[in-house]
Amino acid sequence: MSQLSSVEILGGGPAGLYTAILLRRAMPHLRLRVTEQNPKGATFGFGVVFSDQALDFLKADDPETHDLITPAMERWRNMTLNLPGGQAVLDGVGFSAIGRLELIEVLRKRAEALGVEIRFSHLIESLDEVQADLIIGADGLNSLVRRSNQADFAPTIEHFSNHFAWFGTERPFDTLTQTFVKMQRGAFNAHHYRYQPDRSTFIVECDDATFQAYGFAAMDEAESARACESIFADLLDGAPLITNKSTWRQFPRLWCENWVVGRHLLLGDAAHTAHFSIGSGTRLAMEDAIALVRALSSHDDVEQALAAYQAERQPIARKIVDAANTSATWYENFAAKMDLSPVDFGLDYLMRSGRVDTDRLRRMAPGFMARYDAEKGGGNIADPVGHDNAGAAEVGFRREDHPNCSSILWDNLFRNPDKLALIGPAGSLTYAELVTEAARWGNAFIAAGLKRGDRIPFFLDDTPVYPAAFFGAVRAGFVPVLLNTQTTADVLNFFLQDTGAKIALCEAALARRFEGEALHGTTLERVVIVNGAADGEGRIAAADFLAGQPDTLDCADTGPEDMAFWMYSSGSTGRPKGIVHLHHDMAYTQTSFGKHALKLAEDDICFSVPKIFFAYGFGNALTFPFSIGATTLLMPGQPRPDAVLDMIEKYRPTVLFGLPTLYTALARTENVGTRDLSSLRQSMSAAEILSQDIYDAWKSLTGHGPTEGLGSTELLHIYLSNSLSDHRIGSAGARVPGYEIRLETPDGRVPEPGEEGVMFVRGDSSAPSYWNRSDKTKETMRGDWIYTGDRFIEVDGYYYFQGRADELIKVSGQWVWPLEVERCLNEHPDVHECAVMAHQLEDRRMTLRAVIRLREGRAATDVQSDALRAYVKTRLQPYKYPRIVDYVADLPKTGTGKIDRQALAAMPVRQDAAIGL
Ligand SMILES: Cc1cc2nc3c(=O)[nH]c(=O)nc-3n(C[C@H](O)[C@H](O)[C@H](O)COP(=O)(O)OP(=O)(O)OC[C@H]3O[C@@H](n4cnc5c(N)ncnc54)[C@H](O)[C@@H]3O)c2cc1C
């Protein structure tokens, strides 16, 4: 017990009064005083809510207070969202409400009954007024205690952009409700709930533009109340809004680095704030009080006690504050979300923290999710592409023949068990050996207690483990999730949460990435470490995981339309999306692209430089060779040009798969002409446009240019391709049999000849949806067509990429497509590689910015820039020249090897880089 004899508490809000009660009980001898500036029985605001969870905490820590306040509470199990398009009822979102004044009165009476001195109507203006062993700042957002020692408490305070005003009304509402309305000058949200039988809280919120448009800044409380009454007239049904210090405010986002400075300490709103939408500010204040008094009771030394209070309490409070901040951020964009259907809006709301997935929601809010599933076509994923689609008929594909994609590997057991399935520096396996390995993996996943459909993140490099674990998992009915190993910790954390995975596979060399932030808040129980030893809790080496597992595996009774595996979009714009693929999708890519464009032979050795975790690499390295019993060469590690050339010489692959960046790098490698590339009979390229330059360079080395195609992860592989016999440079290719292509102009027409349109693709390998992202699913999966967002012109059945649908920019009043300029500059002999992007000037005009890596020996001078501009002017319409020309030693690349345009856009423009602006 701390050796304290006197304590002064500033503030008679929940934090101050509750601290006084707990302190008085724990240390009856203490001289204790609470000072509150307001008179007895007066405070700001109306009702406050406690989430069910918050009440559970209180019950566990202080049943007495819990039992005192709960009888005065209004309670609901559901929340209702009212939208212009209908209602969404969210079950399982339990809340209880109590008048703020009522709560304070309960606490005051209890404190007084315990003999605490409470001084009302007294504003403490300086800390010199109070002398005690300990001074507690429970004095709210504008805390005098904090202000008196700003430097040491180190607060950060910012404000959310929305404005809100806290009113009350005598109209009682049935449930905790949020009503969203769209008015001519902007959108509003009201959070309203009954907190006593005849009284409700009514908080009105809007964004800054709406706030300005309505001129609320110039209105007094009464005028604001009248304006809000008319905005919510239907809801209020004639009931007036009552004011009580109801001025418009922006919610503060306050956090203090230190809560204790000497004998001064902070708790509650003085130390941190939590947005009202998660109903936690009062709870946090009361829990701070519990933590403080617990620390003081369990330490003799006051300093140690105070240090323990801060150390124990801060991390817990931080979590709730973070959740409140995330929630508040969601509200900053509510207007844009109001066009969603009520169920989509409801789902978006429930998932706003980013920490719950639909599986968890099915447990938390079963009623809402049942409605969601019913409206969205069932809880199971349904393939929108019908059995009788034209593409499948064209290539003779029968979906029902492909109930489980593991047959792509397993069929080889009968066809050619002793043939080498894979070769490479990490080892070789015959088909029989690979099937055995896969069976052991599948059995080990079953033995680990996974359930059908459970996701297994793969954080793996290209070694024999990849296909073994992949095919074992899908055969046993589990869902591998192929993760990019260049993922940062925060994104990896998102993947682990989004997948809800219990077990993940991780390359030993990457094991450190599965620590700390990456694991925070996930359900991961075990990480299986492959290709190396495992150390640390929750980790197991693959050898131990597989030990004793049988080497045969029955196929789970999956169907062609069951979920088989996922890949994530690269997330270059926004959060990555989990792209869900079904069991028949792999076979479809083989029946379409594999058979009709790639045309492998059984004695081919495929070498995909892009890794298996990319959809392109996945098809190249696994689907196509295994479908026909050919061999795949797997190369782990960085695909540096020299290493790739070494692999070609050593393993003699016949078909090489790469991207234009790879072919550029290989063709420019020193002494490449002396390397033995004679094994290659065919080379494939995808993802980016191949220039004549690269095509010719590769052809001069191997006798053939790379065959260019275009695909997407949503379609799993390539749907437009050139062919060896008919290659049109600059074109992504012609339609691959099995896929239907449709171009559409912005006004929904079929384009005239030579006119561009946005491409839609239909084929039976398409992903039916993004995991947990109904909004994004709706944007991309349009019925049974995939909206690619790419603009094309079609000439004689060949498609020429014109840019992204959202990329066209207006420069000097004329439309320019940056990629066209980029391609032109790439042809310049001094340019090694470049990116051309839209750039917004300070005065908001748009212009073109080229970022260039020059060839060796060329200097980044003004003369060089002028030459490049002149080059564009002579080849394209003159107004398309880049006004800004910047130089870099190397262009940043994304994990998929594409130019990282976001990183480039973030780079400051070089001084003197611009002319003519
Ligand atoms: C619109 C809105 C809605 C909210 N809704 C909820 C909700 O639903 N659920 C929830 O849990 N939380 C809610 N909160 C948050 C909640 O009100 C606060 O988190 C909580 O009141 C913090 O308690 P406190 O005791 O730390 O501070 P306060 O309640 O602010 O108390 C501080 C007290 O100190 C007094 N004081 C300050 N300076 C001095 C001084 N120099 N001398 C004397 N007295 C002084 C003040 O008068 C005040 O009474 C909401 C907040 C807002 C703004």
Secondary structure (DSSP) of 569-601: ---SSSS--EEEEETTHHHHHIIIIIIIII---
Radius of gyration, alpha carbons of the chain: 32
pLDDT: is 129 or 57 the higher one? 129
Distance between CA atoms of 86 and 318, rounded to whole angstroms?
36
Residue 535 pLDDT > 50, yes or no?
A: yes
Mutate to test the pocket of ligand 1, among 35, 36, 108 (most ligand atoms within 8 A of CB): 36
Q: Are strands 526-530 and 539-541 parallel, antiparallel or unpaired?
A: parallel
The pocket around ligand 1, CB under 6 angstroms, is made up of 10-16, 35-38, 43, 48-49, 123-124, 138-140, 144, 166, 203, 268-270, 276, 279-283, 285
| 296 Cα–ligand 1 center, Å | 24
pLDDT above 90 as % of the chain? 68
Q: Is 545 exposed, middle or buried (0-12, 13-18, 19+ CB in 10 A)?
A: buried
Q: Atom 15 in ligand 1: which residue has the minimum CA distance?
A: 281
User: What is the distance, to the nearest Å, from the Cα of residue 774 to the centroid of all Cα atoms in its chain?
Assistant: 14
Residue type, 308: A
Q: Which atom of ligand 1 is the closest one to the Cα of 267?
A: 26
List pLDDT tens digits, range 557-596. 888 988 999 999 875 556 789 999 999 999 999 999 999 9
Mean pLDDT of all residues belonging to the chain: 91
**Alpha-carbon span 673 to 667, nearest angstrom:** 9
Q: Which two tokens stand for residue 97?
A: 């409400």
State the CB neighbour count (10 A cutoff) for residue 245: 12
482 vs 458: CA distance, rounded Å = 5
Distance between CA 590 and CA 836 in Å, rounded? Answer: 36
User: Which residues make beta-bridge pairs with 503?
Assistant: 526
Structure token digits, residue 533: 């030893």
For residues 68-102, one letter each, b for 16 or more C-beta atoms within 10 angstroms of the residue's C-beta and e for the rest, the string is: ebeebbbebebbbbbbeeeebbbbbbbbbbbbbbb
What is the identity of the amino acid at 664? T
pLDDT at 374: 65
For a mutational test of ligand 1's pocket, the pick from 224, 265, 269, i.e. the residue with the most ligand atoms closer than 8 A to its C-beta, is: 269
CA distance 33 to 282: 21
> What's the 269 CA to ligand 1 centre distance in angstroms?
6
Contact 580, 771 (CB under 8 A): yes
The pLDDT of 675-685, averaged and rounded, is 97
Cα dist from 900 to 212, 223, 498, whole Å: 38, 51, 25
Q: Are 876 and 836 in contact (CB under 8 A)?
A: no
CA distance 130 to 870: 76
**Ramachandran assignment for 680, one of left (phi > 0), alpha (psi -120 to 50 degrees), beta (any other):** beta
Q: Say if residue 667 is exposed, middle or buried (CB neighbours under 10 Å; 0-12, 13-18, 19+).
A: buried
What confidence category does residue 378 fall into, taking pLDDT thresholds of 50, 70 and 90?
Answer: very low
**Burial class of residue 669 (count of CB atoms within 10 Å of its CB; 0-12, 13-18, 19+):** middle
Task: Tell me, yes or no, if the pTM score tops 0.75.
Answer: no
Which of 203, 276, 283 has most ligand 1 atoms within 8 Å of its beta carbon, as the pocket-test mutant?
276
- Residue located nearest, by CA, to atom 41 of ligand 1: 124
- Overall average pLDDT of the 108-130 stretch: 95
Amino acid at 500: G
d(CA 192, CA 201): 5
- Whether the predicted pLDDT of 377 surpasses 60: no
Question: What is the three-class DSSP state of 666?
Answer: helix
For ligand 1, the distance from its centroid to the CA atom of residue 159, given in whole angstroms, is: 17
Q: What stretch of H or E contains 465?
A: helix 465-475
The tokens for 142 are 């504008």
Distance 105 CA to ligand 1 centre (A): 14
Q: Which atom of ligand 1 is found nearest the CA of 249?
A: 53
Closest atom of ligand 1 to CA, residue 122? 43
Q: How far is the CA of 13 from the centre of ligand 1 (A)?
A: 6
From ligand 1's centre to the CA of 338, what distance in Å? 31
pLDDT given at position 476: 95
| Per-residue pLDDT tens digits for 599-643 | 999 999 999 999 999 999 999 999 999 999 999 999 999 999 999
Would you state the pLDDT for residue 376? 63
Residue 814 has pLDDT above 90, yes or no: no
Top-confidence residue, 92 or 460: 460
Tell which one of 282, 283, 287 to mutate to probe ligand 1, the residue whose CB is within 8 A of the most ligand atoms: 282
Give the confidence band of 838 by pLDDT, cuts at 50, 70, 90: confident
Quick check: 911 pLDDT over 80?
A: no
Backbone angles phi, psi at 740, to 5 degrees: -105, 140
Task: Give exposure, 160-180, as e/b (b: 16+ Cβ within 10 Å).
Answer: bbbbbbbbbbebbbebbbbbb
Lowest pLDDT segment from 101-110, 238-247, 589-598, 773-782:
773-782
- Give the pLDDT score at 917: 59
Instruction: With cut-offs at 50, 70 and 90, classify the pLDDT of residue 203.
Output: very high
Mean pLDDT of 396-413: 95
Using the CB atoms, write b or e for 680-691: b if 16+ within 10 Å. bebbbbbbbbbb
Average pLDDT over residues 101-127: 94
Ligand 1 mean position, distance from CA 83 (Å): 30
Q: Which residues pair with 804 in a beta bridge?
A: 790
* Ligand 1 atom showing the smallest separation from residue 141 Cα: 30
Residue bearing the CA closest to ligand 1, atom 37: 139
Which domains are present in the chain? 6-74+92-159+251-316 (3.50.50.60), 163-242 (3.30.9.20), 340-375 (no CATH), 807-906 (3.30.300.30)
More confident residue, 553 or 690: 553
For the ranges 220-229, 321-330, 368-377, 831-840, the lowest mean pLDDT is seen at 368-377
